[in-house]
Structure 1
């Protein structure tokens, strides 16, 4: 980890210390349970965990960062497919998704094979999975079942893998500092989460998906995205 990255994490740590102190003071002044303050403190604690885990991976180096996001993809894919009804005939496709497509995607990123990791899942894996699923001879809801595994890989593996893929970028004048790109991305995403929460509390009226996320509002979503885009730009 270079000096700039160390200074960045020190700055983040100081901000989180200040946020934790503010959350503690607000909780003491509330004198009892308060959903808004409790939610704020829960978010701050979650940020501490994320910063410590990501900081440790950064300290170990690029390989550790790739392994970290591999683990994120693994658990995200597992969570996605746990919610997806499957049949016994889907097992070959599921095994290929977890033990072939997932690790190979990150290996290709680790060896910087851009020409393949950019098309591996959306082209080759998309063709392979329905073939494997058909080997079981079960045609009931075949297209639906195959597409769920495919898009689970797209969301949980392909999209997430492009975060460590930032390490493969070569920007003139910033050689050897590609880790800062990932740090900046994570910071902007977390700022967006905070701004969506704040905008939702201040201006939120219309719920986006009341049954899925009762606290998310259209105003909070648009405000958070707009402000985070200005900060990130």
Structure 2
């Protein structure tokens, strides 16, 4: 599972990098993103080194990456390039790595079944995407952010969150949560999933593209499939860790 999501991060990071501006002086940073940051972050997941796993990218990498770029003396669009690199690593690697990190959680009475937490997260968040689309098509009248995502409506959001929370409650048998706890956790994860998809759409609009890539015929790239998990996974992980371990 850890290797699988490392490969997903690799594909997603590649898609992000190809959409953003870079210069020759960024090549060492880009090489480090693929050759060092991804393997090391997922090694930290593999070894369950929580203390370093949570700060390696947002502290050490975020400080070192712009420093390496600055050492090359290339200041053209410096802030834009550095910000794009940091945000690429944040959503493609750091956030996504929280999915397999669920396997490292030691929930009393739930030993050996952490894989079911991943199943619960993916089913509810991805299910919420589908349900929001269905409710939007059936009842959507009020657009939420037409310039960012013309298909998202308030009716779709409310209907999708309500039914995905119910779905979470029905799947409570997969988790250490009670019925109400499962509904609440699913609601939070799906709300964050919605925000993740909205942010991903905003980035695509900013770059003038419809899809992140063409990895999956008719469905865009890897990030088009994983954008909801980007915001949902870290919040779900830390919610479970703080309240159930």
TM-score by length of 2: 0.65
1:125 aligns with 2:53: no
User: Over the residues paired in the alignment, what is the CA RMSD in angstroms?
Assistant: 1.5
Separation (CA, whole Å) in 1 of partners of 2:110 and 2:23: 49
1:102-131 Cα deviation digits (max 9, x unpaired):
111000000010000011100000011001
* Contact kept in structure 2, 1:106 and 1:161, CA below 8 Å: yes
5 Å-filtered alignment, 1:133-212, equals: 133-210=69-146
Distance 1:86 1:93 in 2: 10
Segments of 5+ residues of structure 2 without an aligned counterpart are 169-182, 184-245
Q: Does structure 2 retain, via aligned residues, the 8 Å contact 1:89–1:135?
A: no
Name the structure 1 match of 2:224: none
Name the counterpart of 1:218.
154
1:227 CA displacement? 2.7
Correspondence list, 1:30-179, <5 A: 65-179=1-115
Q: How far is 1:140 from its partner?
A: 1.2
Separation of aligned partners in 1, 2:17 and 2:132: 28
Please state whether the residue corresponding to 1:163 is helix, strand or coil.
helix
Q: 1 or 2 for the larger relative contact order (CA 8 Å, sep ≥6)?
A: 2
The 1-side partners of 2:82 and 2:109 are apart by 45
**Cα shift at 1:215:** 2.7
Quote the Cα distance in structure 1 between the aligned partners of 2:98 and 2:166: 22
Separation (CA, whole Å) in 1 of partners of 2:165 and 2:17: 32
In structure 2, the residue corresponding to 1:86 is in which secondary structure?
coil
Contact kept, 8 Å, 1:77 with 1:156, in 2: the verdict is yes
Deviation at 1:164, TM superposition (A): 0.4
Segments of 5+ residues of structure 1 without an aligned counterpart are 1-64
How far the C-alpha of 1:159 sits from its partner, in A, is: 0.6
3-state SS, counterpart of residue 20 of structure 2? coil
What is the alpha-carbon distance in structure 2 between the residues aligned to residue 208 and residue 83 of structure 1? Answer: 26
**Which structure has the bigger radius of gyration?**
1
TM-score (normalised: structure 1): 0.68
Q: CA deviation at 1:173?
A: 1.0
Q: Distance in 1 between matches of 2:144 and 2:24?
A: 36
Question: Which segment is superposed worse, 111-120 or 216-225?
Answer: 216-225
